[in-house]
Amino acid sequence: MGTRTWTIRELLLWSRGFFAERNVDSPRLTAELLLSFVLGCPRIRLYADFDRPLDQAELARFKSLVLRRAAGEPAQYLVGRQDFYGRPFKVDPRALIPRPETELVAERVLREVPKGTAALLADVGCGCGTLGLTLAAERPDARVVLTDVSPDALQLARENAVLLDVAPRVEMRQGDLAAPLASGVFDAIVANLPYVPDGERATLPIHIVEHEPHLALFGGPDGLDLYRRFLPALPRHLRPGGLVVVEHGAEHGESAPALFDPNDWTQVTVEQDLAGLPRFTSAHRR
């Protein structure tokens, strides 16, 4: 880039082309995210200030982020943020980056738990806390327990609970799957456990396999090992009629609901994401 003066317009054009040549996902959006982060402004502001020049410090910082993204680092980790259900969450390599389709899991629970309900909810395998903290924010009369086997992920979830101002109604518990939960008390439990089959490791994009935590990604030969351990233990933690919603891969549209023992569960339903793919299964405890 040398020492020449670059405007916002020129940098967006250049970085978008740079990313496209290197097969970076969403080159325009990525360029906007990184530049708005460097300049500390909303993305829309970039277009209002098209002809604003960057100083050399801003230019150097932007160039560094562009090169790191082109080398495979996720844009969300570079800027330290990912929006989920209309709220900003802090993200970093301690936990998986939230995916938009997971918002549908939260929506499923919110349809079941009316506003004003003093419900007790749980988010198992919470990662950075998007599901559990969204439920806490959307249902201010509820209390929410978040669990994860990773102490680093739980610490990140704690930071997000403070960021979203829901910490007083949220409890963090470290442990494996349902082990940290109390018995028979929860109105609804959500879980987005690792479900990528081990054999897909070599096919994942570099920004996922080399930067996101493998502990949060891979779920055994067919991706469902954790759910095979989790679901049989779950009924005793839900009140009768209580709801469970679990996210899984699109290839699990038949195999995931088959894990729900009909002696324990009723109304087992597979629901689709916005792309029409089977993305999560819900059920009620008998």
pLDDT at residue 255 in the model:
97
Residues contacting residue 147 through CB under 8 Å, at least 6 positions apart: 122, 123, 124, 125, 126, 154, 172, 173, 174, 175, 180, 181
Contact call for residues 235 and 66 (beta carbons, < 8 A): no
Q: What is the pTM of this model?
A: 0.93
Max CA distance (Å), the chain: 71
pLDDT at residue 4 in the model:
82
Residue 170, beta-bridge partner list:
144
* Closest to 130 in 3D by CA, of 162, 111, 106, 165: 106
pLDDT at residue 207 in the model:
86
pLDDT in tens, the chain (286 residues): 656 889 999 999 999 999 999 999 999 999 999 999 999 999 999 999 999 999 999 999 999 999 999 999 999 999 999 999 999 999 999 999 999 999 999 999 999 999 999 999 999 999 999 999 999 999 999 999 999 999 999 999 999 999 999 999 999 999 999 999 988 799 999 999 999 999 999 899 888 999 999 999 999 999 999 999 999 999 999 999 999 999 999 999 999 999 999 999 999 999 999 899 999 999 999 9
pLDDT at residue 181 in the model:
95
Residue 174, beta-bridge partner list:
148
